[in-house]
Structure 1
Protein backbone atom coordinates (compact mmCIF):
# COMPACT_ATOMS: atom_id res chain seq x y z
CA UNK A 1 0.00 0.00 0.00
CA UNK A 2 0.95 3.67 -0.26
CA UNK A 3 1.69 5.66 2.89
CA UNK A 4 3.39 8.83 4.06
CA UNK A 5 6.64 7.97 5.84
CA UNK A 6 9.27 9.79 7.88
CA UNK A 7 12.85 10.02 6.62
CA UNK A 8 14.31 12.75 8.80
CA UNK A 9 13.72 16.40 9.43
CA UNK A 10 11.78 17.99 6.57
CA UNK A 11 11.70 14.72 4.62
CA UNK A 12 8.26 13.12 4.29
CA UNK A 13 7.78 10.65 1.43
CA UNK A 14 4.88 8.85 -0.19
CA UNK A 15 6.07 5.31 -0.77
CA UNK A 16 5.02 1.68 -0.77
CA UNK A 17 5.01 -0.14 2.57
CA UNK A 18 3.69 -3.57 3.61
CA UNK A 19 -0.07 -3.86 4.06
CA UNK A 20 -1.16 -4.12 7.71
CA UNK A 21 -2.38 -7.47 8.99
CA UNK A 22 -4.40 -8.70 11.96
CA UNK A 23 -1.85 -9.24 14.76
CA UNK A 24 -4.20 -9.69 17.72
CA UNK A 25 -7.74 -11.07 17.94
CA UNK A 26 -9.04 -7.62 18.99
CA UNK A 27 -7.60 -5.89 15.91
CA UNK A 28 -9.43 -4.49 12.91
CA UNK A 29 -8.16 -3.30 9.55
CA UNK A 30 -9.75 -0.25 7.96
CA UNK A 31 -9.52 1.03 4.42
CA UNK A 32 -8.77 4.72 4.90
CA UNK A 33 -11.20 7.04 3.14
CA UNK A 34 -9.89 10.28 4.65
CA UNK A 35 -6.98 11.35 6.81
CA UNK A 36 -5.51 14.69 7.83
CA UNK A 37 -2.23 16.40 8.61
CA UNK A 38 -2.33 17.61 12.22
CA UNK A 39 -0.43 20.55 13.67
CA UNK A 40 1.35 18.10 15.98
CA UNK A 41 2.56 16.22 12.87
CA UNK A 42 4.51 19.36 12.04
CA UNK A 43 6.58 18.81 15.20
CA UNK A 44 7.64 15.50 13.60
CA UNK A 45 8.25 17.23 10.26
CA UNK A 46 10.44 19.81 12.02
CA UNK A 47 12.46 17.05 13.68
CA UNK A 48 11.72 17.88 17.31
CA UNK A 49 9.83 14.69 18.25
CA UNK A 50 12.31 12.13 19.60
CA UNK A 51 12.40 8.43 18.72
CA UNK A 52 11.11 8.76 15.16
CA UNK A 53 12.60 6.04 12.97
CA UNK A 54 13.24 6.10 9.25
CA UNK A 55 10.23 4.67 7.42
CA UNK A 56 7.72 5.23 10.23
CA UNK A 57 4.20 5.68 8.82
CA UNK A 58 2.70 8.98 9.96
CA UNK A 59 -0.78 10.22 10.80
CA UNK A 60 -3.27 10.04 13.64
CA UNK A 61 -6.43 11.65 12.21
CA UNK A 62 -8.08 8.85 10.28
CA UNK A 63 -11.43 7.40 9.25
CA UNK A 64 -12.56 4.73 6.86
CA UNK A 65 -14.35 1.45 6.25
CA UNK A 66 -13.73 -1.75 8.18
CA UNK A 67 -12.45 -4.47 5.83
CA UNK A 68 -11.32 -7.11 8.34
CA UNK A 69 -11.86 -7.85 12.03
CA UNK A 70 -10.12 -10.14 14.50
CA UNK A 71 -11.94 -13.05 16.09
CA UNK A 72 -12.40 -11.23 19.42
CA UNK A 73 -13.36 -7.82 18.01
CA UNK A 74 -17.10 -7.91 18.71
CA UNK A 75 -17.99 -4.24 18.28
CA UNK A 76 -17.27 -3.86 14.56
CA UNK A 77 -18.15 -5.74 11.42
CA UNK A 78 -16.89 -5.57 7.86
CA UNK A 79 -18.44 -2.61 6.08
CA UNK A 80 -18.81 -0.36 9.14
CA UNK A 81 -17.84 3.26 8.60
CA UNK A 82 -15.71 4.45 11.51
CA UNK A 83 -13.63 7.32 12.89
CA UNK A 84 -10.50 6.19 14.74
CA UNK A 85 -9.32 8.10 17.86
CA UNK A 86 -5.62 8.91 17.90
CA UNK A 87 -5.33 7.38 21.38
CA UNK A 88 -4.99 3.58 21.52
CA UNK A 89 -6.72 2.27 24.64
CA UNK A 90 -7.46 -1.16 26.07
CA UNK A 91 -10.72 -0.25 27.81
CA UNK A 92 -9.93 -2.42 30.83
CA UNK A 93 -7.06 -0.90 32.84
CA UNK A 94 -7.26 1.46 35.84
CA UNK A 95 -7.26 4.59 33.68
CA UNK A 96 -9.53 3.39 30.86
CA UNK A 97 -12.14 2.35 33.42
CA UNK A 98 -12.11 5.94 34.72
CA UNK A 99 -12.39 7.48 31.25
CA UNK A 100 -8.74 8.57 31.04
CA UNK A 101 -8.15 6.66 27.81
CA UNK A 102 -5.01 8.62 26.84
CA UNK A 103 -3.31 7.28 29.99
CA UNK A 104 -3.99 3.61 29.17
CA UNK A 105 -1.51 1.41 31.02
CA UNK A 106 -1.31 -1.34 28.42
CA UNK A 107 -0.96 0.08 24.92
CA UNK A 108 2.42 1.87 24.90
CA UNK A 109 4.81 -0.83 23.76
CA UNK A 110 7.68 1.57 24.47
CA UNK A 111 6.55 2.47 27.98
CA UNK A 112 10.05 2.14 29.45
CA UNK A 113 11.32 4.96 27.22
CA UNK A 114 8.37 7.16 28.17
CA UNK A 115 8.82 6.43 31.86
CA UNK A 116 12.46 7.46 31.67
CA UNK A 117 11.50 10.85 30.21
CA UNK A 118 8.18 11.56 31.94
CA UNK A 119 8.12 9.38 35.06
CA UNK A 120 5.05 7.46 33.89
CA UNK A 121 3.89 6.39 30.45
CA UNK A 122 0.77 7.59 28.61
CA UNK A 123 -1.12 5.46 26.09
CA UNK A 124 0.19 4.43 22.74
CA UNK A 125 -0.65 6.78 19.87
CA UNK A 126 -0.95 6.22 16.14
CA UNK A 127 1.95 7.49 14.04
CA UNK A 128 3.72 9.37 16.80
CA UNK A 129 7.17 7.99 17.58
CA UNK A 130 8.69 5.10 19.44
CA UNK A 131 8.19 6.95 22.70
CA UNK A 132 4.50 6.20 22.27
CA UNK A 133 4.41 2.68 20.93
CA UNK A 134 5.81 3.01 17.43
CA UNK A 135 2.42 2.25 15.88
CA UNK A 136 1.98 2.80 12.14
CA UNK A 137 -0.21 5.82 11.46
CA UNK A 138 -3.20 6.46 9.26
CA UNK A 139 -1.79 8.63 6.46
CA UNK A 140 -2.00 5.49 4.38
CA UNK A 141 -4.38 3.37 2.33
CA UNK A 142 -4.99 0.96 5.22
CA UNK A 143 -4.60 1.07 9.00
CA UNK A 144 -4.39 -1.65 11.64
CA UNK A 145 -6.45 -0.61 14.66
CA UNK A 146 -5.51 -2.38 17.92
CA UNK A 147 -8.26 -2.79 20.55
CA UNK A 148 -10.81 -2.00 17.87
CA UNK A 149 -13.64 -2.83 20.23
CA UNK A 150 -12.68 0.22 22.34
CA UNK A 151 -11.47 2.97 20.01
CA UNK A 152 -13.38 3.48 16.76
CA UNK A 153 -16.84 5.00 16.70
CA UNK A 154 -19.35 4.03 14.03
CA UNK A 155 -20.63 7.07 12.15
CA UNK A 156 -23.72 7.70 10.02
CA UNK A 157 -23.69 7.49 6.25
CA UNK A 158 -25.51 10.78 5.65
CA UNK A 159 -22.59 12.91 6.89
CA UNK A 160 -19.51 13.58 4.76
CA UNK A 161 -16.03 12.42 5.71
CA UNK A 162 -14.87 16.01 6.26
CA UNK A 163 -17.69 16.55 8.76
CA UNK A 164 -16.64 13.51 10.81
CA UNK A 165 -12.88 13.07 10.38
CA UNK A 166 -11.90 15.58 13.07
CA UNK A 167 -13.62 13.53 15.77
CA UNK A 168 -10.35 11.59 15.67
CA UNK A 169 -8.42 14.40 17.39
CA UNK A 170 -8.79 18.13 16.87
CA UNK A 171 -12.50 18.56 17.64
CA UNK A 172 -12.28 16.61 20.94
CA UNK A 173 -8.99 18.37 21.74
CA UNK A 174 -10.45 21.84 21.18
CA UNK A 175 -13.58 20.89 23.10
CA UNK A 176 -11.56 19.50 26.01
CA UNK A 177 -9.49 22.71 26.07
CA UNK A 178 -12.68 24.70 26.56
CA UNK A 179 -14.20 22.22 29.00
CA UNK A 180 -11.07 22.49 31.16
CA UNK A 181 -11.91 26.18 31.61
CA UNK A 182 -15.04 25.36 33.65
CA UNK A 183 -16.87 28.11 31.79
CA UNK A 184 -19.51 30.13 33.63
CA UNK A 185 -21.97 32.63 32.15
CA UNK A 186 -20.20 35.89 31.42
CA UNK A 187 -16.72 34.37 31.19
CA UNK A 188 -14.03 35.73 28.91
CA UNK A 189 -11.76 33.06 27.41
CA UNK A 190 -8.44 33.95 25.76
CA UNK A 191 -7.04 31.46 23.22
CA UNK A 192 -3.50 31.49 21.88
CA UNK A 193 -3.24 29.91 18.43
CA UNK A 194 -5.95 30.02 15.77
CA UNK A 195 -4.83 26.89 13.97
CA UNK A 196 -7.21 23.92 13.72
CA UNK A 197 -7.27 23.07 17.45
CA UNK A 198 -7.61 26.74 18.37
CA UNK A 199 -10.52 27.11 15.95
CA UNK A 200 -12.36 24.23 17.62
CA UNK A 201 -11.52 25.62 21.05
CA UNK A 202 -13.08 28.96 20.04
CA UNK A 203 -16.30 27.37 18.86
CA UNK A 204 -16.40 24.97 21.80
CA UNK A 205 -15.99 27.83 24.28
CA UNK A 206 -19.07 29.47 22.81
CA UNK A 207 -20.95 26.15 22.80
CA UNK A 208 -20.15 25.80 26.51
CA UNK A 209 -21.44 29.26 27.35
CA UNK A 210 -18.55 31.74 27.11
CA UNK A 211 -19.71 35.33 26.68
CA UNK A 212 -16.55 36.47 24.92
CA UNK A 213 -13.57 34.78 23.30
CA UNK A 214 -10.32 36.61 22.58
CA UNK A 215 -8.29 34.84 19.86
CA UNK A 216 -4.58 35.51 19.40
CA UNK A 217 -2.61 34.82 16.22
CA UNK A 218 -1.10 36.77 13.33
CA UNK A 219 -2.10 34.77 10.23
CA UNK A 220 -4.89 36.74 8.49
CA UNK A 221 -6.78 33.64 7.33
CA UNK A 222 -6.78 32.17 10.85
CA UNK A 223 -7.87 35.44 12.45
CA UNK A 224 -10.61 35.73 9.85
CA UNK A 225 -11.94 32.26 10.74
CA UNK A 226 -11.84 33.16 14.43
CA UNK A 227 -13.72 36.39 13.80
CA UNK A 228 -16.34 34.52 11.76
CA UNK A 229 -16.98 32.37 14.85
CA UNK A 230 -17.64 35.48 16.94
CA UNK A 231 -14.24 35.92 18.58
CA UNK A 232 -12.49 39.20 19.20
CA UNK A 233 -9.08 38.92 17.57
CA UNK A 234 -5.58 40.15 18.43
CA UNK A 235 -2.68 40.15 15.99
CA UNK A 236 0.29 39.60 18.30
CA UNK A 237 2.65 41.15 15.74
CA UNK A 238 0.79 44.47 16.03
CA UNK A 239 -0.24 44.75 19.67
CA UNK A 240 1.12 44.01 23.13
CA UNK A 241 -1.05 41.00 23.97
CA UNK A 242 -0.89 41.48 27.74
CA UNK A 243 -1.83 45.17 27.53
CA UNK A 244 -4.60 44.42 25.02
CA UNK A 245 -6.17 41.73 27.22
CA UNK A 246 -5.89 43.97 30.25
CA UNK A 247 -7.76 46.65 28.35
CA UNK A 248 -10.42 44.27 27.04
CA UNK A 249 -11.06 42.86 30.54
CA UNK A 250 -10.89 46.18 32.45
CA UNK A 251 -7.63 45.18 34.10
CA UNK A 252 -8.82 41.87 35.56
CA UNK A 253 -7.43 39.44 32.99
CA UNK A 254 -9.16 36.62 31.15
CA UNK A 255 -11.18 34.15 33.23
CA UNK A 256 -9.32 31.32 31.51
CA UNK A 257 -6.49 31.09 29.01
CA UNK A 258 -5.98 28.29 26.49
CA UNK A 259 -2.54 27.47 25.08
CA UNK A 260 -3.31 25.82 21.73
CA UNK A 261 0.20 26.47 20.39
CA UNK A 262 2.63 24.44 22.46
CA UNK A 263 6.31 24.02 21.90
CA UNK A 264 6.75 25.73 18.52
CA UNK A 265 5.49 29.31 18.74
CA UNK A 266 6.56 31.98 16.26
CA UNK A 267 10.23 32.61 17.20
CA UNK A 268 9.87 36.26 16.15
CA UNK A 269 6.98 36.90 18.54
CA UNK A 270 9.16 38.26 21.35
CA UNK A 271 12.65 38.36 22.77
CA UNK A 272 11.98 35.38 25.02
CA UNK A 273 10.71 33.30 22.09
CA UNK A 274 13.91 34.08 20.17
CA UNK A 275 15.98 32.98 23.17
CA UNK A 276 13.91 29.81 23.50
CA UNK A 277 14.51 28.93 19.85
CA UNK A 278 18.25 29.50 20.25
CA UNK A 279 18.33 27.22 23.31
CA UNK A 280 16.56 24.42 21.45
CA UNK A 281 18.83 24.84 18.43
CA UNK A 282 21.94 24.53 20.62
CA UNK A 283 20.57 21.63 22.72
CA UNK A 284 20.29 23.81 25.83
CA UNK A 285 16.53 23.27 26.06
CA UNK A 286 13.76 20.99 24.82
CA UNK A 287 10.72 23.28 24.51
CA UNK A 288 9.75 26.87 23.75
CA UNK A 289 7.13 28.00 26.29
CA UNK A 290 6.67 31.63 25.22
CA UNK A 291 2.89 31.24 24.85
CA UNK A 292 2.52 29.52 28.21
CA UNK A 293 4.37 32.33 29.96
CA UNK A 294 2.10 34.89 28.34
CA UNK A 295 -1.07 32.94 29.11
CA UNK A 296 -0.11 32.77 32.81
CA UNK A 297 0.42 36.53 32.99
CA UNK A 298 -2.84 37.26 31.14
CA UNK A 299 -5.02 35.01 33.32
CA UNK A 300 -6.99 36.61 36.13
CA UNK A 301 -6.41 35.69 39.76
CA UNK A 302 -7.84 32.24 40.53
CA UNK A 303 -8.39 31.65 36.82
CA UNK A 304 -7.54 28.57 34.76
CA UNK A 305 -4.76 27.90 32.26
CA UNK A 306 -5.73 25.11 29.87
CA UNK A 307 -2.88 23.52 27.90
CA UNK A 308 -3.52 21.42 24.80
CA UNK A 309 -0.56 22.53 22.69
CA UNK A 310 2.06 19.78 22.63
CA UNK A 311 5.10 20.00 24.93
CA UNK A 312 7.73 17.28 25.04
CA UNK A 313 10.17 17.84 27.86
CA UNK A 314 11.41 20.51 30.26
CA UNK A 315 10.31 24.15 30.24
CA UNK A 316 12.55 27.07 31.16
CA UNK A 317 11.60 30.24 33.01
CA UNK A 318 7.90 29.46 33.40
CA UNK A 319 6.52 32.04 35.92
CA UNK A 320 5.35 29.55 38.53
CA UNK A 321 5.61 32.25 41.19
CA UNK A 322 2.93 34.26 39.39
CA UNK A 323 0.70 31.20 39.11
CA UNK A 324 1.13 30.17 42.75
CA UNK A 325 0.70 33.60 44.29
CA UNK A 326 -2.39 34.32 42.23
CA UNK A 327 -4.10 30.97 42.66
CA UNK A 328 -4.12 29.71 39.07
CA UNK A 329 -5.36 26.25 38.15
CA UNK A 330 -3.59 24.32 35.40
CA UNK A 331 -5.34 21.62 33.38
CA UNK A 332 -3.73 19.76 30.50
CA UNK A 333 -3.75 16.39 28.73
CA UNK A 334 -3.38 14.40 25.61
CA UNK A 335 -7.08 14.08 24.87
CA UNK A 336 -8.86 10.93 26.06
CA UNK A 337 -10.79 11.06 22.79
CA UNK A 338 -13.14 8.15 23.45
CA UNK A 339 -14.89 9.89 26.35
CA UNK A 340 -15.90 12.80 24.09
CA UNK A 341 -17.00 10.98 20.94
CA UNK A 342 -20.72 10.28 21.55
CA UNK A 343 -21.58 13.82 22.68
CA UNK A 344 -19.55 15.49 19.94
CA UNK A 345 -21.07 13.27 17.26
CA UNK A 346 -24.45 14.41 18.57
CA UNK A 347 -23.32 18.04 18.22
CA UNK A 348 -22.50 17.42 14.57
CA UNK A 349 -25.71 15.51 13.85
CA UNK A 350 -27.84 18.23 15.46
CA UNK A 351 -26.15 20.96 13.41
CA UNK A 352 -24.51 22.74 16.36
CA UNK A 353 -21.24 22.63 14.44
CA UNK A 354 -20.02 21.57 10.99
CA UNK A 355 -16.34 20.70 11.48
CA UNK A 356 -15.59 20.93 7.76
CA UNK A 357 -15.32 24.72 8.14
CA UNK A 358 -11.63 24.32 8.98
CA UNK A 359 -10.59 22.56 5.74
CA UNK A 360 -8.68 24.75 3.30
CA UNK A 361 -6.57 22.25 1.33
CA UNK A 362 -7.24 18.79 -0.07
CA UNK A 363 -5.11 16.26 -1.91
CA UNK A 364 -4.03 12.67 -2.37
CA UNK A 365 -1.34 10.78 -0.48
CA UNK A 366 1.00 11.59 -3.37
CA UNK A 367 0.36 15.29 -2.66
CA UNK A 368 1.12 14.76 1.04
CA UNK A 369 4.84 15.66 1.14
CA UNK A 370 4.24 18.99 -0.57
CA UNK A 371 1.15 19.70 1.52
CA UNK A 372 3.20 19.14 4.68
CA UNK A 373 5.38 22.03 3.53
CA UNK A 374 2.36 24.15 2.62
CA UNK A 375 0.83 23.59 6.06
CA UNK A 376 4.09 24.19 7.92
CA UNK A 377 4.81 27.40 6.01
CA UNK A 378 1.14 28.53 6.09
CA UNK A 379 1.25 29.08 2.35
CA UNK A 380 -1.87 29.81 0.31
CA UNK A 381 -3.91 30.49 3.45
CA UNK A 382 -3.49 26.90 4.64
CA UNK A 383 -5.32 26.11 7.89
CA UNK A 384 -6.11 22.38 7.55
CA UNK A 385 -5.21 19.66 5.08
CA UNK A 386 -7.35 16.59 4.30
CA UNK A 387 -5.95 13.74 2.24
CA UNK A 388 -7.94 11.12 0.33
CA UNK A 389 -5.97 7.92 -0.32
Structure 2
Protein backbone atom coordinates (compact mmCIF):
# COMPACT_ATOMS: atom_id res chain seq x y z
CA UNK A 1 0.00 0.00 0.00
CA UNK A 2 1.23 3.48 -0.91
CA UNK A 3 1.84 5.86 2.02
CA UNK A 4 -1.10 8.12 1.03
CA UNK A 5 -3.60 5.27 0.54
CA UNK A 6 -6.07 3.57 2.86
CA UNK A 7 -7.76 0.19 3.01
CA UNK A 8 -11.50 0.18 3.60
CA UNK A 9 -13.92 -2.61 4.50
CA UNK A 10 -16.91 -2.19 2.17
CA UNK A 11 -20.27 -1.90 3.93
CA UNK A 12 -22.41 -0.82 0.95
CA UNK A 13 -22.08 -0.53 -2.80
CA UNK A 14 -24.31 0.30 -5.78
CA UNK A 15 -24.55 -1.26 -9.23
CA UNK A 16 -24.03 1.52 -11.77
CA UNK A 17 -25.30 1.51 -15.34
CA UNK A 18 -21.69 1.50 -16.50
CA UNK A 19 -21.16 -1.77 -14.60
CA UNK A 20 -24.07 -3.25 -16.54
CA UNK A 21 -22.57 -2.12 -19.86
CA UNK A 22 -19.38 -4.00 -18.99
CA UNK A 23 -21.30 -7.03 -17.73
CA UNK A 24 -23.27 -7.24 -20.99
CA UNK A 25 -20.09 -6.83 -23.10
CA UNK A 26 -21.23 -3.48 -24.48
CA UNK A 27 -17.85 -1.93 -23.63
CA UNK A 28 -14.54 -3.60 -24.30
CA UNK A 29 -12.13 -4.29 -21.51
CA UNK A 30 -13.82 -6.61 -19.01
CA UNK A 31 -11.69 -9.68 -18.42
CA UNK A 32 -12.20 -12.86 -16.44
CA UNK A 33 -11.96 -12.29 -12.67
CA UNK A 34 -12.25 -8.48 -12.97
CA UNK A 35 -14.18 -6.96 -10.06
CA UNK A 36 -16.82 -4.42 -11.03
CA UNK A 37 -18.00 -1.40 -9.12
CA UNK A 38 -16.89 2.13 -8.39
CA UNK A 39 -19.51 3.40 -5.91
CA UNK A 40 -19.06 2.33 -2.31
CA UNK A 41 -18.66 3.25 1.30
CA UNK A 42 -17.22 1.52 4.31
CA UNK A 43 -14.99 1.59 7.38
CA UNK A 44 -11.30 2.50 7.23
CA UNK A 45 -9.26 -0.53 8.34
CA UNK A 46 -5.72 0.78 7.78
CA UNK A 47 -4.02 3.94 6.53
CA UNK A 48 -0.68 4.78 4.99
CA UNK A 49 1.87 6.71 7.03
CA UNK A 50 1.14 10.03 5.27
CA UNK A 51 -2.66 9.93 5.48
CA UNK A 52 -3.84 12.80 7.70
CA UNK A 53 -7.59 13.31 7.23
CA UNK A 54 -8.94 9.81 7.95
CA UNK A 55 -8.05 7.24 10.56
CA UNK A 56 -8.79 3.61 11.34
CA UNK A 57 -12.45 3.24 12.27
CA UNK A 58 -13.70 6.24 10.27
CA UNK A 59 -16.83 5.63 8.23
CA UNK A 60 -16.42 7.05 4.71
CA UNK A 61 -17.94 7.37 1.27
CA UNK A 62 -15.32 6.67 -1.41
CA UNK A 63 -15.07 8.87 -4.50
CA UNK A 64 -16.22 7.06 -7.64
CA UNK A 65 -13.82 8.86 -9.96
CA UNK A 66 -10.63 7.24 -8.70
CA UNK A 67 -9.15 3.82 -9.26
CA UNK A 68 -6.23 1.78 -8.08
CA UNK A 69 -6.11 0.29 -11.58
CA UNK A 70 -6.74 -3.27 -10.48
CA UNK A 71 -10.12 -3.92 -8.91
CA UNK A 72 -13.55 -2.45 -8.32
CA UNK A 73 -15.44 -1.98 -5.08
CA UNK A 74 -17.82 -4.92 -5.26
CA UNK A 75 -15.46 -6.69 -2.91
CA UNK A 76 -14.97 -7.08 0.83
CA UNK A 77 -12.09 -4.59 0.93
CA UNK A 78 -10.85 -1.79 -1.31
CA UNK A 79 -7.67 0.20 -1.56
CA UNK A 80 -8.42 3.92 -1.72
CA UNK A 81 -5.66 5.86 -3.49
CA UNK A 82 -4.88 9.28 -1.99
CA UNK A 83 -7.32 8.67 0.84
CA UNK A 84 -7.16 12.23 2.19
CA UNK A 85 -8.93 13.61 -0.89
CA UNK A 86 -10.89 10.58 -2.09
CA UNK A 87 -12.94 9.86 1.02
CA UNK A 88 -15.71 11.76 2.77
CA UNK A 89 -16.22 11.08 6.47
CA UNK A 90 -19.77 10.19 7.48
CA UNK A 91 -21.31 10.45 10.95
CA UNK A 92 -22.28 7.20 12.65
CA UNK A 93 -25.96 8.14 13.03
CA UNK A 94 -26.54 8.34 9.25
CA UNK A 95 -27.55 5.19 7.35
CA UNK A 96 -25.50 4.01 4.36
CA UNK A 97 -28.57 4.36 2.11
CA UNK A 98 -28.80 8.06 2.98
CA UNK A 99 -25.30 8.96 1.80
CA UNK A 100 -24.09 6.30 -0.63
CA UNK A 101 -25.29 8.44 -3.57
CA UNK A 102 -22.57 10.96 -2.66
CA UNK A 103 -20.06 8.61 -4.27
CA UNK A 104 -21.27 9.14 -7.84
CA UNK A 105 -24.97 9.51 -8.65
CA UNK A 106 -25.63 12.75 -6.79
CA UNK A 107 -22.43 14.29 -8.16
CA UNK A 108 -23.23 13.19 -11.73
CA UNK A 109 -26.63 14.90 -11.59
CA UNK A 110 -25.01 18.04 -10.19
CA UNK A 111 -22.35 18.04 -12.92
CA UNK A 112 -25.03 17.72 -15.62
CA UNK A 113 -26.81 20.82 -14.36
CA UNK A 114 -23.58 22.81 -13.99
CA UNK A 115 -22.26 21.87 -17.44
CA UNK A 116 -25.71 22.48 -18.91
CA UNK A 117 -25.83 25.95 -17.40
CA UNK A 118 -28.98 25.54 -15.31
CA UNK A 119 -29.68 28.75 -13.43
CA UNK A 120 -32.54 30.79 -12.08
CA UNK A 121 -35.32 31.14 -14.63
CA UNK A 122 -34.12 28.49 -17.10
CA UNK A 123 -36.29 25.68 -18.44
CA UNK A 124 -34.90 22.16 -18.29
CA UNK A 125 -35.83 18.82 -19.85
CA UNK A 126 -34.33 15.68 -18.31
CA UNK A 127 -34.41 12.53 -20.45
CA UNK A 128 -34.30 9.46 -18.21
CA UNK A 129 -35.65 9.35 -14.67
CA UNK A 130 -33.40 6.77 -13.10
CA UNK A 131 -31.19 7.81 -10.18
CA UNK A 132 -29.05 10.23 -12.22
CA UNK A 133 -32.19 11.76 -13.73
CA UNK A 134 -33.74 12.23 -10.28
CA UNK A 135 -30.58 13.94 -9.11
CA UNK A 136 -30.56 16.14 -12.23
CA UNK A 137 -34.13 17.19 -11.47
CA UNK A 138 -33.23 17.92 -7.86
CA UNK A 139 -30.13 19.93 -8.77
CA UNK A 140 -32.08 21.85 -11.43
CA UNK A 141 -34.44 23.04 -8.70
CA UNK A 142 -31.58 24.24 -6.52
CA UNK A 143 -30.53 27.31 -8.60
CA UNK A 144 -34.18 28.07 -9.38
CA UNK A 145 -35.03 26.58 -12.78
CA UNK A 146 -38.40 27.97 -13.88
CA UNK A 147 -39.71 24.68 -15.23
CA UNK A 148 -38.33 21.14 -15.19
CA UNK A 149 -39.79 18.41 -17.40
CA UNK A 150 -38.86 14.79 -16.72
CA UNK A 151 -39.15 12.33 -19.62
CA UNK A 152 -39.31 8.54 -19.28
CA UNK A 153 -41.59 5.58 -20.01
CA UNK A 154 -41.69 4.20 -16.46
CA UNK A 155 -44.55 5.67 -14.41
CA UNK A 156 -42.88 4.81 -11.11
CA UNK A 157 -39.80 6.81 -12.10
CA UNK A 158 -41.88 9.68 -13.41
CA UNK A 159 -43.75 9.82 -10.12
CA UNK A 160 -40.46 10.14 -8.23
CA UNK A 161 -39.49 13.00 -10.55
CA UNK A 162 -42.85 14.67 -9.87
CA UNK A 163 -42.10 14.44 -6.15
CA UNK A 164 -38.90 16.38 -6.88
CA UNK A 165 -40.95 19.16 -8.49
CA UNK A 166 -40.82 18.17 -12.16
CA UNK A 167 -43.64 17.94 -14.65
CA UNK A 168 -43.60 14.61 -16.48
CA UNK A 169 -43.95 13.17 -19.96
CA UNK A 170 -44.37 9.45 -20.55
CA UNK A 171 -42.94 9.10 -24.06
CA UNK A 172 -44.65 5.72 -24.56
CA UNK A 173 -48.07 7.38 -24.25
CA UNK A 174 -47.71 10.66 -26.11
CA UNK A 175 -45.91 12.49 -28.90
CA UNK A 176 -42.93 13.69 -26.94
CA UNK A 177 -41.92 16.63 -29.15
CA UNK A 178 -45.46 17.97 -29.50
CA UNK A 179 -46.11 17.63 -25.77
CA UNK A 180 -42.80 19.23 -24.84
CA UNK A 181 -43.47 22.17 -27.17
CA UNK A 182 -46.87 22.65 -25.51
CA UNK A 183 -45.30 22.60 -22.06
CA UNK A 184 -42.35 24.82 -23.00
CA UNK A 185 -43.12 26.87 -26.14
CA UNK A 186 -39.93 27.17 -28.18
CA UNK A 187 -38.40 24.23 -26.32
CA UNK A 188 -36.30 23.96 -23.16
CA UNK A 189 -33.20 26.06 -22.56
CA UNK A 190 -31.28 23.01 -21.35
CA UNK A 191 -31.64 19.30 -22.14
CA UNK A 192 -29.98 16.68 -19.94
CA UNK A 193 -29.53 13.11 -21.20
CA UNK A 194 -29.66 11.01 -18.05
CA UNK A 195 -30.54 7.82 -19.92
CA UNK A 196 -27.62 7.56 -22.28
CA UNK A 197 -26.32 4.75 -24.41
CA UNK A 198 -28.91 2.43 -25.98
CA UNK A 199 -31.65 3.53 -23.58
CA UNK A 200 -32.04 7.07 -24.94
CA UNK A 201 -35.40 7.71 -26.66
CA UNK A 202 -37.20 10.66 -28.12
Deviation track 1:185-239 (CA, whole Å, cap 9, x = no partner) reads 3221000000110011111111121121101110121111111212111111122
Partner residue of 2:19? 41
Alignment correspondent of 2:59: 81
| CA displacement, residues 218-276 of structure 1 (integer Å, 9 cap, x when unaligned) | 012111111121211111112222221111112x11010001111121xxxxxxxxxxx
In the alignment, the residues of structure 2 paired with residue 185 and residue 141 of structure 1 have an alpha-carbon distance, to the nearest angstrom, of 44
- Alignment gaps of 5+ in structure 1: 1-22, 89-124, 127-132, 266-289, 295-389
Confirm whether residue 264 of structure 1 aligns to residue 187 of structure 2: no
| Helix, strand or coil at the partner of 1:264 | helix
Partner SS, residue 150 of structure 1 = helix
- CA contact 1:84–1:153 (8 Å) conserved in 2: yes
Q: For 1:235-254, what aligned pairs fall within 5 Å after superposition?
A: 235-250=170-185, 252-254=186-188
Match of 1:350 in 2: none
Q: Distance in 2 between matches of 1:58 and 1:42?
A: 9
Question: Does residue 202 in structure 1 map to residue 180 in structure 2?
Answer: no
Which residue pairs with 2:75 in the alignment?
Answer: 140
* 8 Å CA contact retained: 1:58, 1:136: yes
Contact 2:120 2:144 in 1 (8 A): yes
Separation in 2, partners of 1:158, 1:239: 45
**Is the partner of 1:87 in helix, strand or coil?**
coil
Residue 116 (structure 2) aligns with: 181
Secondary structure in 1 matching 2:84 = coil
Q: Give the Cα–Cα distance (whole angstroms) in 2 for the partners of residues 215 and 62 of structure 1.
A: 27
Counterparts of 1:14-163 in structure 2 under 5 Å? Answer: 23-88=1-66, 125=67, 133=69, 135-163=70-98
For this pair of structures, how many residues does the alignment match?
202
Deviation at 1:24, TM superposition (A): 1.5
Whether contact under 8 Å (2:23, 2:30) holds in the other structure is: no
Question: Could you tell me the TM-score, scaled by structure 1's length?
Answer: 0.50
Whether 2:144 is the aligned partner of 1:220: answer: no
Question: What value does the CA root-mean-square deviation take over the aligned residues?
Answer: 1.5
Distance in 1 separating the partners of 2:6 and 2:145:
40
Q: Is the 8 A contact 2:119 2:140 kept in 1?
A: no
Runs of at least 5 residues in structure 2 that lack an aligned partner in the other structure: none
TM-score by length of 2: 0.94
